[in-house]
Amino acid sequence: MSDQAISNLAREERTFEPPADLAAQANVKADIYAEADADRQAFWGKAAERLAWGEPFTEVLDWSNPPFAKWFVGGKLNVAYNCVDRHVENGLGDKVALHFVGEPGDTRTITYSQLKDEVSQAANAITELGIETGDRVAIYLPMIPEAVIAMLACARVGAPHTVVFGGFSSDALASRVEDCEAKLIITSDGGYRRGKPSALKPAVDEAIAKLGDASPVENVLVVKRTGEDVAWNSDIDVWWDEVVGESSTDHTPEMFDSEHPLYVMYTSGTTGKPKGILHTSAGYLTQAAYTFWATFDHKPDTDVYWCTADVGWVTGHSYIVYGPTAEGATQVLYEGTPDTPHKGRWWEIIAEYGVTLFYTAPTAIRTCMKWGEQIPAEHDLSSLRVLGSVGESINPEAYVWYRENIGGGQTPIVDTWWQTETGAHMITPLPGVTSAKPGSAMTAFPGIGAEVVDDAGKPVGNGEGGYLVITEPWPSMLRTIWGDDERFKETYWSRWEGMYFAGDGAKKDDTGAIWLLGRVDDVMNVSGHRLSTTEIESALVSHPSVAEAAVVGAADDTTGQAVVAFVILRESAKDVEDVSADLRNHVAKEIGPIAKPRQIMVVPELPKTRSGKIMRRLLRDVAENREVGDATTLADSSVMDLITDGLKDATSDED
Ligand code: ATP
Ligand code: MG
């Protein structure tokens, strides 16, 4: 389909109905909403029954001391047993758990029975290294099977993990290790990235050196991945192969209380300093598993699932490690980048493994749009039956491109809104139920209470915008900010009585569907009009020349704030003349003259976090000619230089 045809389709405000065959066989049907509404707690209680319990719970929810929730009170279970052992006991030992694909092309197939052995060995090994229930373990690994194994081994012994994205610096690692006082770091010599080995162990050594005498780290467990030389401190360093490989595969999982801490995950840091979000066991696993099953319509006998997120992000926790394995899924785990060794790598992997359910981020889709539809067109993607999106609003243009070029014009797309804090999907279409609108996350998941409220905390009417809040406790909710209950209350629960405030702006359209509008902090005020970043960005992306866009409000003498847009052009539009004027007029036409950007800056890249989210606050610094602020959570720290250097040469488009 041509770019223009996609633009037209994206702008028609049409809905996409679920395919009839998918709807007929869907895991959940439309009546699920009424069932959940009738008795929210009974609904989640039933979802929890899908797990294997060592001791049954006696109460679904204890909300006597808000905002501190206890879910599945009195119950005991082992998370790793639920994710691994029970499938083997159910006769699925030979089922593939992981199809690992290394960036250089090496592969490994791991069945549930092999996973059980390796997780048991790792559990024995870390116990041998002195890790006890409740101790914290930091995991700093590339996307290799050991990352999944290490997380499940920690869960198995009840030692909360904190996974630090492998692309992060030693500073980021040190601050997280210090904040949660990790006794053990599990890492590797390195991993493969963009066609070459990229070292990890040196950053661990640096982090420990930085912490000095205050370092809580007693051991570093090192996986050999690249085989490159590493500095070795024999007092604390041990090889994974030697200690895990030599351990027994017999390990009896202990049953832990429902509220036993499972992990601490630091947020992306898109808006500021990352917060250590604590998740606990049974409620988290219940919602991660149930949403995986319902949102992706997962069929354990036939589906092959692939989520492209990194395990260093919450999506990797809930929708690679815990949700899919709890449901006994077969999944692809890919180490590398989408364009190594060529830009069709993802699509090649989908064709090779017959991937049926695919979950990625809008940023990746926009990058693929930039590269052009001819690349996926070379691969057979007909196995796909549900596509997912997470991390940011998906622009209608990108949604339609995704559906047409990856989904063959018929696969439903689930645009899943959730956060590190929420642990699992909160607002999303259901693929066999929802008439989906491109750009909208649609409605609250069954059993979840979501609302859009005004300044006074009153629900807004259809057609109006406001603040997105969660009105009822949910099983996978964060329990606190690690070590800081006050900050937890203050950050999330203090704005309106009894409501969790997520930090995002949203609107309800005329049918009540929810549209995420971007961070409340990013909302612009131009001559008294409140403008959403998401809406203007989507308008820009709907122009055939634009692949990606980020808009910010910059101080302006006459209008208070003015819209400044940063755009990446599509490969096909590199030679188009006078693109700025064209784009400004396009926004005026799509949204209204008030939204017309004061300035359009054409840039080669946008600053993004490790999880692919645009960091607008850094762009605001550029737009206001300030020194660029804290960029330590950027995925690629050189991007800001690339942007500022490029702009020095460019002429301004002000008129
Ligand atoms: P920090 O809280 O440290 O600033 P962060 O909010 O980027 O970092 P995450 O928890 O990874 O950290 O991201 C959650 C946020 O991502 C949501 O609050 C929302 O702004 C955005 N988001 C995620 N999924 C969607 C979606 N489907 N549609 C719109 N926005 C989304
Ligand atoms: Mg956040």
Answer whether 147 contacts ligand 1 (Cβ < 6 A): no
CA distances 173 to 269, 399, 477, 528, Å, are: 14, 35, 25, 43
Among the listed residues 190, 165, 200, the one whose alpha carbon sits nearest the alpha carbon of residue 613: 165
Nearest ligand to the CA atom of 522: 1
At 336-363, the pLDDT tens digits run: 999 999 999 999 999 999 999 999 999 9
318 vs 645, more confident:
318
126 CA distance to ligand 1 centroid (A)?
Answer: 33
Segment among 52-56, 261-265, 498-502, 606-610 with least mean pLDDT: 606-610
| 3-class DSSP state of 333 | strand
Nearest ligand to the CA atom of 391: 1
Helix (H) or strand (E) holding 402: helix 396-405
> Are 155 and 139 within 8 A, CB to CB?
no
Q: Is residue 155's pLDDT more than 80?
A: yes
207 CA distance to ligand 1 centroid (A)?
Answer: 28
Closest ligand 1 atom number to CA of residue 420 = 10
Nearest residue (by CA) to ligand 1, atom 31, is 392
Site of tokens 């069709």: 344
- Average pLDDT of the segment spanning 602-628: 90
Distance CA 607, CA 637 (A): 8
Backbone angles phi, psi at 4, to 5 degrees: -65, -40
pLDDT class of 2 with cuts at 50, 70, 90 = low
DSSP H helices in 432-499:
485-493
Closest ligand 1 atom number to CA of residue 502 = 18
534 CA distance to ligand 1 centroid (A)?
Answer: 13
- Average pLDDT of the segment spanning 361-384: 95
244 CA distance to ligand 1 centroid (A)?
Answer: 36
Answer whether 441 contacts ligand 1 (Cβ < 6 A): yes
Q: Residue 647: what pLDDT?
A: 76
Q: Residue 11: what pLDDT?
A: 64
Q: Is residue 648's pLDDT more than 50?
A: yes
148 CA distance to ligand 1 centroid (A)?
Answer: 23
Nearest ligand to the CA atom of 414: 1
Answer whether 291 contacts ligand 1 (Cβ < 6 A): no
Assigned token pair, 197:
């080995």
Alpha-carbon 324 to chain mean position = 14
Among the listed residues 221, 66, 97, the one whose alpha carbon sits nearest the alpha carbon of residue 159: 221
Answer whether 420 contacts ligand 1 (Cβ < 6 A): yes
Nearest residue (by CA) to ligand 1, atom 23, is 391
**DSSP assignments along 230-280, one per residue:** ----TTTEEEHHHHTTTS-S--PPPPEETT-EEEEEE---SSSS--EEEEE
CA distances 592 to 68, 337, 396, 566, Å, are: 45, 39, 18, 19
Segment among 10-24, 293-307, 365-379, 414-428 with least mean pLDDT: 10-24
Q: Residue 564: what pLDDT?
A: 96
At 32-41, the pLDDT tens digits run: 999 999 999 9
Closest ligand 1 atom number to CA of residue 273 = 3
627 CA distance to ligand 1 centroid (A)?
Answer: 25
Nearest residue (by CA) to ligand 1, atom 14, is 419
Distance CA 512, CA 464 (A): 9
pLDDT class of 609 with cuts at 50, 70, 90 = confident
Distance CA 323, CA 177 (A): 26
Q: Is residue 189's pLDDT more than 50?
A: yes
Contacts of 195 (CB under 8 A, 6+ apart): 103, 104, 340, 341
Q: Is residue 626's pLDDT more than 70?
A: yes
Q: Is residue 560's pLDDT more than 80?
A: yes
Among the listed residues 571, 518, 573, the one whose alpha carbon sits nearest the alpha carbon of residue 545: 573
Q: Is residue 334's pLDDT more than 60?
A: yes
Nearest residue (by CA) to ligand 1, atom 27, is 417
Assigned token pair, 231:
């500095």
450 CA distance to ligand 2 centroid (A)?
Answer: 16
Among the listed residues 312, 554, 276, the one whose alpha carbon sits nearest the alpha carbon of residue 421: 276
Distance CA 117, CA 393 (A): 40
Nearest ligand to the CA atom of 273: 1
Which residues pair with residue 465 across a beta bridge? 507
324 CA distance to ligand 1 centroid (A)?
Answer: 21
pLDDT class of 630 with cuts at 50, 70, 90 = confident
Answer whether 431 contacts ligand 1 (Cβ < 6 A): no
pLDDT class of 1 with cuts at 50, 70, 90 = low
| 3-class DSSP state of 185 | strand
pLDDT class of 6 with cuts at 50, 70, 90 = low
Nearest residue (by CA) to ligand 1, atom 26, is 417
10 CA distance to ligand 1 centroid (A)?
Answer: 23
Q: Residue 651: what pLDDT?
A: 43
At 192-247, the pLDDT tens digits run: 999 999 999 999 999 999 999 999 999 999 999 999 999 999 999 999 999 999 99
What share of the chain in percent tops pLDDT 90? 87
Q: Is residue 437's pLDDT more than 90?
A: yes
Q: Is residue 488's pLDDT more than 60?
A: yes
Q: Ligand 1 pocket test: pick from 175, 363, 417 the residue with the most ligand atoms within 8 Å of its Cβ.
A: 417
At 112-124, the pLDDT tens digits run: 999 999 999 999 9
At 394-419, the pLDDT tens digits run: 999 999 999 999 999 999 999 999 99
Neighbouring CB atoms inside 10 A of 516's CB total 23
Among the listed residues 291, 296, 294, 272, the one whose alpha carbon sits nearest the alpha carbon of residue 411: 296
**DSSP assignments along 21-76, one per residue:** HHHHT-SS-THHHHHHHH-HHHHHHHHHTTS--SB--SEEEEEEETTEEEEEET-E
Distance CA 98, CA 114 (A): 10
Domains annotated for the chain, with CATH where assigned, are 81-100+109-276 (3.40.50.12780), 527-654 (3.30.300.30)
Q: Is residue 650's pLDDT more than 80?
A: no
DSSP label at 608? B
> Are 300 and 328 within 8 A, CB to CB?
yes
Nearest residue (by CA) to ligand 1, atom 17, is 419
Answer whether 390 contacts ligand 1 (Cβ < 6 A): yes
| 3-class DSSP state of 456 | coil
At 265-290, the pLDDT tens digits run: 999 888 778 899 999 999 999 999 99
Q: Is residue 171's pLDDT more than 50?
A: yes
Among the listed residues 439, 442, 446, the one whose alpha carbon sits nearest the alpha carbon of residue 424: 446
What share of the chain in percent tops pLDDT 70? 97
Distance CA 631, CA 595 (A): 28
Look at the pTM and tell me if it is higher than 0.85: yes
Distance CA 651, CA 374 (A): 33
**DSSP assignments along 443-455, one per residue:** SBPTT--EEEE-T
Assigned token pair, 654:
């002000």
pLDDT class of 577 with cuts at 50, 70, 90 = confident
219 CA distance to ligand 2 centroid (A)?
Answer: 32
- Average pLDDT of the segment spanning 433-454: 97
477 CA distance to ligand 1 centroid (A)?
Answer: 15
Answer whether 271 contacts ligand 1 (Cβ < 6 A): yes
For CA atoms 254, 43, 480, 182, give the dihedral sign: positive
- Average pLDDT of the segment spanning 475-498: 97
Q: Residue 7: what pLDDT?
A: 65
Backbone angles phi, psi at 373, to 5 degrees: -75, -15
Question: How confident is the prediction for the chain on average, in pLDDT?
Answer: 94
Distance CA 320, CA 592 (A): 42
Q: Residue 655: what pLDDT?
A: 42
What letters, b where the CB count within 10 A reaches 16 and e where it falls short, cover 200-221? bbebbbebbebbeeebbbebbb
Distance CA 404, CA 402 (A): 6
